C-alpha cells in the first residue's frame, strides 16, 4: 500500500533532476529546473498567493473556530446539537456545491472577484474543521474548571486566556494545521471564487495540465514534499524528547 502511495511521488522527485522535459526517458542529471522554477513568474506568483491565503485563512479561521467551539460547548444540549449538525454540513457537503454557493453569494452582494473573495471562501470552509478539532479537547476539560478560576479571582476573559486556552492548545494547533492543509490543497472553491490576476498553485497546475505539465512543477512538488517531511521529522523528534 505504501509503495502504491509513494512510488508516484518518488518518480516525480527523480524526474525533477532529469535533463529531459519528458518523463518517458532519462537523459542526465541536472538542477536547471530548480533554477528555472524561481525564474518562472507565473508559478512564483501562484505560490505567493497560495501561501498568503493559506496563512491568513488559517489564522482567522483558527481564531473564529476556537471562539465558536468554546461558545458551542457552553450551549444547552438541544441548541448544541442543532449548531453541530449545521457545522457538519460544509464538511460533508461536496466542494462543488460549496464553491457555487459562495460564488452566488458574492455575485448577489456585487463583490468583485479577486483576492478578497478567495480569502473569504477559504476562511468559510476552514472554520468547521477548526471547530471539530477544538471541541474534543473542550469536552475533556473538567466542567468546573472555569468556575474554580473565577472563585480564585480571575475575570471571565482571564480565565479563558490563562486557563482554558492552554488546556486546549493541542486541538487549536491541530485545527490550524488542518485549515492550512485544506487551504493549500483546495482547487474547486478557489477556482470558482477567484478573479483576474489572482491564482493559486492548484489553478495554475490545472491550467498547465491542458498544455502539458512543465518540469518546474516537478521541482516545486519535490521542494514542497521535502519541506513537509522535514517539518514532520522535527515535530516527531520534539515529541519524543
Q: Which residues, listed in sequence order, are joined to residue 29 by a DSSP beta bridge?
A: 18
Report the percent of the chain where pLDDT is more than 90. Answer: 51
Q: Do residue 75 and residue 32 come from a single domain?
A: no
The predicted pLDDT at position 141 comes to: 87
Please state the pTM of the whole predicted model.
0.87
110 within a domain of the structure (yes/no): yes
Q: Block means of pLDDT (10 residues each) for the chain, length 241 residues? A: 90 88 81 90 92 96 95 90 91 92 95 95 95 93 82 84 90 92 92 91 85 82 89 75 61
Backbone dihedral angles phi then psi of residue 18, each to the nearest 5 degrees? -85, 135
Give domain status of residue 238, yes or no.
Answer: no
Kindly state whether residue 225 falls inside one of the protein's structural domains. Answer: no
- Are 147 and 31 members of one domain? no
* Domain interval for residue 14: 9-39
Contact 193/57 with Cβ under 8 angstroms? no
Do 117 and 14 sit in the same domain of this protein? no
pLDDT tens, residue by residue, 70-93 = 999 988 888 999 999 999 998 898
Q: Are residues 13 and 98 in the same domain?
A: no
> Are the beta carbons of 73 and 132 closer than 8 angstroms?
no
Same structural domain, 23 and 56 = no
The per-residue pLDDT for 208 is: 81
* Cβ partners under 8 Å of residue 37, min gap 6: 43, 216, 219, 220, 223
Nearest residue to 124 (alpha-carbon basis) of 60, 202, 52: 60
129 with 65, same domain: the answer is yes
Q: What value does the CA radius of gyration of the chain take, rounded to a whole number of Å?
A: 22
> How many structural domains are present in the chain?
2
Q: Are residues 152 and 118 in the same domain?
A: yes
Do 62 and 26 reside in the same domain of the chain?
no
- For residue 18, the 8-state DSSP code is B
Say yes or no: 187 and 211 in one domain. yes
Give residue 127's pLDDT: 96
Say whether 29 sits in a helix, a strand or coil: strand
| pLDDT for the residue numbered 34 | 92
Please indicate, yes or no, if residue 235 is contained in any of the structural domains. no
Q: What are phi and psi of 29, to 5 degrees?
A: -75, 135
d(CA 46, CA 53): 11
With respect to residue 184, please indicate whether it lies within any of the assigned structural domains. Answer: yes
Q: How is residue 100 written as a grid cell?
A: 457555487
Amino acid at each position: 500500500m505504501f509503495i502504491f502511495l509513494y512510488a508516484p511521488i518518488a518518480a516525480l522527485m527523480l524526474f525533477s533532476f532529469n535533463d529531459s522535459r519528458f518523463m518517458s526517458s532519462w537523459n542526465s542529471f541536472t538542477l536547471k529546473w530548480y533554477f528555472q522554477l524561481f525564474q518562472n513568474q507565473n508559478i512564483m506568483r501562484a505560490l505567493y498567493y497560495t501561501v498568503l491565503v493559506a496563512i491568513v485563512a488559517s489564522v482567522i479561521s483558527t481564531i473564529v473556530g476556537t471562539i465558536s467551539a468554546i461558545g458551542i460547548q457552553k450551549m444547552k444540549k438541544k441548541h448544541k446539537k442543532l449548531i453541530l449538525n449545521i457545522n457538519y454540513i460544509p464538511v460533508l457537503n461536496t466542494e462543488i456545491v460549496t464553491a457555487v454557493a459562495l460564488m452566488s453569494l458574492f455575485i448577489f452582494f456585487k463583490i468583485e472577484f479577486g483576492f478578497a473573495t478567495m480569502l473569504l471562501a477559504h476562511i468559510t470552509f476552514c472554520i468547521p474543521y477548526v471547530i471539530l478539532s477544538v471541541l474534543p479537547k473542550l469536552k475533556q476539560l473538567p466542567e468546573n474548571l472555569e468556575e474554580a478560576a473565577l472563585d480564585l479571582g480571575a475575570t471571565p476573559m482571564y480565565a479563558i486566556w490563562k486557563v482554558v486556552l492552554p488546556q486546549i492548545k493541542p486541538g487549536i494547533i491541530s485545527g490550524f494545521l488542518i485549515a492550512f492543509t485544506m487551504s493549500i490543497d483546495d482547487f474547486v472553491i478557489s477556482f470558482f471564487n477567484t478573479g483576474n490576476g489572482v491564482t493559486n498553485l492548484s489553478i495554475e497546475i490545472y491550467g498547465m495540465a491542458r498544455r502539458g505539465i512543465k518540469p518546474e512543477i516537478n521541482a516545486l512538488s519535490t521542494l514542497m514534499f521535502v519541506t513537509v517531511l522535514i517539518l514532520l521529522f522535527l515535530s516527531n523528534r520534539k515529541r519524543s524528547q
